[in-house]
Amino acid sequence: MYGTLFLHIQLIYLEGTAYTIEDEIITTQLVQQINRDLKERPDLMQLTFENNNIVDVDGICQVFSSLRNYEKLEGINFRCNNFTDRVIEALCQGIKMKKELRTVDLGENRITDQSISMIGEALRTHVRLHMLFLDNNKITDAGAEGLAECLKNKQDLRILNIDNNQIGPDGARKLAVQLKSNYGLSKLYCDQNKMGEDGAAAIAESMAMMDSLKKICMENNNIKDKGALALSRVLDENDTLLSLYIENNQITSVGAQALAKMLKNKMKLSKINLNHNPIGDEGLSYISEGIANNETLRVITIADAGITKESVPIFARSLQNKRFLTKILLDQNKIGVDGAKILASGIKENETLTNLHLSHCLILEEGAIALASSLQNKRNLLVLDLNNNKILAGGCIAICKNIQHHTTLRELYMSNNYIGPDGAKQLAKVLLNKKYITEIWLSMNGIFAEGAVALGEALKDKKYLEVLVLKKNDINIQGIRALKEVLNLSKTIKELNLASNGIGDEGAAIVCDALINKQNQQLSYLGLSDNKITTQGAIKVAQLITKCDTLTELFLANNNIDNEGAKALVKAIKGRQDFKNIDLDNNQFSGEAITELFTILPLNKLNLIKSNLTEAQVTPIAKQIKHNKSLSQIYMSHNNLTDHSIGLLAEAIKENSSLTELFITHNDLSLPNGINFIQGLQNKPNLKSLALNSCKLNQSLLRELAESLKDNENLRELYLYSNQIGPTQAVYVSQIIANKRKLASLGLSNNQIAEDGAVNLAQNGLIDKENLAKLSLEGNFIGGAGLIAVSEVLMNNTELQELYLYNNHLDDVGMDKLGQMLANKTNLFALGLEFNKIGAEGASHILVNVKKLKNFEKLYLNQNDIKKEVGDAIIDCLSVIENLKELRLSNNKLGDEGGKAIAQALKNNKSLRICHLSNNKFSAEAAKGMAEVIRVNTVLRDLDLSSNLIIMEELQELANSFKEASLECLNLRNNLISAEEILAFDQVLQFVTNLPKRKFLF
């Protein structure tokens, strides 16, 4: 260590006036060396002391105090050292009279209010200070006066950074009083504080005289419309603004309108960030008008803003004159196919675009094809993000053909798009000339081994590849073998995720052997979850950990690793203080191995699912929860916890202030300490997700839960499945969620809330839940009255994406009200109504109202009482609906008439991939219609006609249709076919049952 540092300092010595020490353990010996070196630099101007671990506090205090002797010192960069108040005091003594200081960087040091007061006193007379960085510290309202002292007499101050502190409205007001005198400020960074609307308004007023202000960063401050209005008013006359960042501030269309008016005269503005503000279509329309005449805009980001296709036309028009536009980010806005087409026309002529981000925008295959043509002239494209858009192989191929000559591409995000092997092969061709590609994200695409082989060939020479994500693609061992050479040759791979690919121990060995002996190893993240890996593979991974000291995150959940493999992993990780995260959920070892992990790793996430835990094992886990300040996510399930163990966890959770996600399921909280556990949830303002499924929550526990969570307004997910919650207990569930306006997901399945409980829940709990996206009420017997109450209260909600009402004693009563409620659910993609008594009339109400929902994908109506009269509604729905992928109508009473109607509709449907129609009394006529469907429908992949009344003659016709069809699975089991008939037609049946990658089941 000493020799390495000495060489580093000697190299810097050649510059004469600068001295750097970073990433070191500051021992007494090292302090002595630093003192000797500094004495040889009387003309020291720049001192860097960054990311160090101070052991000799007295020694470093002496070094810092001695800085008073360096008259020419102009800059100190002291980031990321976790200074104590005592060290800050010594530093202040050293710099107090250093009037030549131009730059002071004390970011990421956990500076307290007491320390900032000392710094303020030390810097009071430093009139020439140009840059002050105090970001990522612990300054609160109480330290605002000390912070203001830092700014006194600083007319030359150009940059102030106080990002990520804890300054609230009062502190902002104190700071604003002083900022009014800092006329020369050019860049103000105050992201991630707690200023609120009043604090933001005060800071905005202080900007009135800053005639050189170019950049404002006020993200994550909850400034709301009031803050946006104040900023707009003050900045109206400003003609120097270049960048405005106000992400995640709860600004609505009201604030957007004011901002737009201000932006109309900002002809120099080049960057604007409005991500995660619910401005909606109205707000985007205002913003588009505001930037319409600006020709210098380079970057515009408006992710997750509630935008649909309605406002895209005016936005697209506003982009047409942006000659220098390089980045558009509209992630998580449901612009859909039409929006993608319109946007494509708006950027078609632009040749400067380098970054296009449209993830989670529901553009689908048709939208991707339209967008593809607009990319042809984007020869400088660096980043293309189309994650989660279901563009299919056709969309992928179109994109690839239009970017095949774009050699500059660095990052490609195309996960969850179902591009299949064909899309992957086309993508591989495109990647051949992408010399500088660094990141490829292709999770959940069904590329299989065939696609992996093509990618393996294309990526062999990619020297700069850093991230490769192929999660959930079923590439199996053949695919891993094809990627072996890529991993062998890559020198820069940092993140590799191969989860859910069935690669087994051989695949794990291939991966580890390829990575284990690399020079200049950079791998930091390895994902191998859900891969059928046993202890043999785990031992290989352990060997990799031992050899690869850069690896800090490892995911091996859902494998078959036993205690021997777990012990090998624990042994490899011991002594690795830099290890951040390891996920070993759902393997075959006892809690003892995981418990030992927690004694050696300061984890951010605790995963103990399906692990029996003794009291001795829970003790170190509880200590980890109690003392690890970075631990924010806890997942525990099926742990067979004793009452004493629950008590230990209760005390630990009570002390943990970082908790954001808590999943404690399938553990008995009705034990005496359960009440203490629930009380431990008090004062958890950051808790966003809570699951207490199958925990035997009785009435007193639910009452206490309502009391513990009453002040939490940030809860977004609540799951209370299988707790025998009846109508009386449902009242407390209503109390829990009453003030949770951000609630996005509520799970109450498999309880017994009945009609009265459902009505109470609707009227007292679900009211005003505008953000609710998922509601699960399966198995609660809510009946018609409960359904009507829930439907009425959700009429104005437009965010609902999933609704599950399985097994609720529902018939046609209330289905008209449910249908009306669904009519405006433009984001809905799944509806579950299985195991009820819904008839043709009720089903028709549903079909009529979902047919125009462009994002609707899954409809479950199996096990009901639906008869042939539903036929017209089915024909109408399936001929109009655009994106329905899965329809389940098994175990109804459709008969041949209903079957013929479905067949007629399926002939022309272009979206349905799964259709299950078993046990519906189909016979000859329905079977003939389905045979025609199989011949002409090129989209359908899975058709279930089992347990009907189909005889051998129709089966043969269905088999002949299946031969050359696109259908991948046809299920005809349990029909009226004898063994003798099967033997008679053996030649035909043998052919179709042996088709590769296809299933003919009879």
pLDDT tens digit string along 59-114?
999 999 999 999 899 999 999 998 999 999 999 999 988 778 999 999 999 999 99
Alpha-carbon distance of 862 to 866, in angstroms, equals 9
**What is the structure's pLDDT at 990?**
66
Q: Residues spanned by CATH 3.80.10.10 within the chain?
A: 438-601, 844-856+869-1001
pLDDT in tens, 845-858: 999 999 989 889 99
Alpha-carbon distances of 155 from 127, 182, 218, 338, 592, rounded to whole Å = 7, 5, 22, 52, 61
Place of tokens 């290989």: 540
Torsion 821-822-826-832 (CA) sign:
positive
Residue 154 tokens read as: 């600083």
pLDDT in tens, 792-841: 999 999 999 999 999 999 999 999 999 999 999 989 999 999 999 999 99
Pick the closest to residue 384 from 413, 350, 415, 363 (CA basis): 413
Burial of 215 (0-12, 13-18, 19+ CB in 10 A): middle
Q: Is 448 left (phi over 0), alpha (psi -120 to 50) or beta?
A: left
CB 645 within 8 A of CB 617: no
Residue 826 tokens read as: 């433009």
Residue 314 tokens read as: 């005016």
Residue 782 tokens read as: 């809510």
pLDDT in tens, 919-946: 999 999 999 999 999 999 988 999 999 9
Q: What is the 3-state secondary structure (H, E, C) of 367-407?
A: HHHHHHHHCCCCCCCCEEECCCCCCHHHHHHHHHHHHCCCC
Q: Quick one: average pLDDT of 442-446?
A: 96
E strand or H helix that includes residue 38? helix 28-39
Type of residue at 927: A
Going by pLDDT thresholds of 50, 70 and 90, the confidence category of residue 439 is very high
Q: Quick one: average pLDDT of 123-128?
A: 86
CATH class for the domain made up of 438-601: alpha beta
- Main-chain dihedrals φ then ψ at residue 215, nearest 5 degrees: -140, 130
- Main-chain dihedrals φ then ψ at residue 942, nearest 5 degrees: -140, 115
The answer on pLDDT for 609 being more than 80 is no
Greater confidence, 614 or 365?
A: 365
Greater confidence, 620 or 373?
A: 373
Pick the closest to residue 425 from 397, 392, 405 (CA basis): 397
What share of the chain in percent tops pLDDT 70?
A: 95
CB neighbours of 194 closer than 8 A, spacing ≥ 6? 166, 167, 168, 169, 221, 222
Under DSSP, the state recorded for 279 is: -
The reply to whether the predicted model has a pTM over 0.85 is: no
Alpha-carbon distance of 163 to 165, in angstroms, equals 6
What share of the chain in percent tops pLDDT 90?
A: 77
Give the CA dihedral 843, 362, 801, 255, nearest 10 degrees: -130
pLDDT in tens, 703-740: 999 999 999 988 999 999 999 999 999 999 999 999 99
**What is the structure's pLDDT at 5?**
35
Burial of 28 (0-12, 13-18, 19+ CB in 10 A): exposed
CB neighbours of 36 closer than 8 A, spacing ≥ 6? none
CB neighbours of 871 closer than 8 A, spacing ≥ 6? 897, 898, 900, 901, 902
Pick the closest to residue 958 from 983, 922, 909 (CA basis): 922
Residue 904 tokens read as: 């007629």
Tell me the sheet residues that pair with 555. Answer: 527, 583
Going by pLDDT thresholds of 50, 70 and 90, the confidence category of residue 675 is very high
- Main-chain dihedrals φ then ψ at residue 249, nearest 5 degrees: -130, 15
Mean pLDDT of all residues belonging to the chain: 91
Under DSSP, the state recorded for 67 is: G
Alpha-carbon distance of 917 to 891, in angstroms, equals 7
Going by pLDDT thresholds of 50, 70 and 90, the confidence category of residue 591 is low
Burial 692-722 (b: 16+ CB within 10 A, else e): bbbbbbbeebbbbbbbbbeebeebbbbbbbb
In this structure, the strands spanning 187-189 and 942-944 are unpaired
CATH, domain range 844-856+869-1001:
3.80.10.10
Pick the closest to residue 594 from 580, 602, 583, 579 (CA basis): 583
Query: ∠ CA 968-969-970 to the nearest 5 degrees?
Result: 130
Q: List, in sequence order, every beta strand (DSSP E) within 460-604.
A: 467-469, 495-497, 525-527, 553-555, 581-583
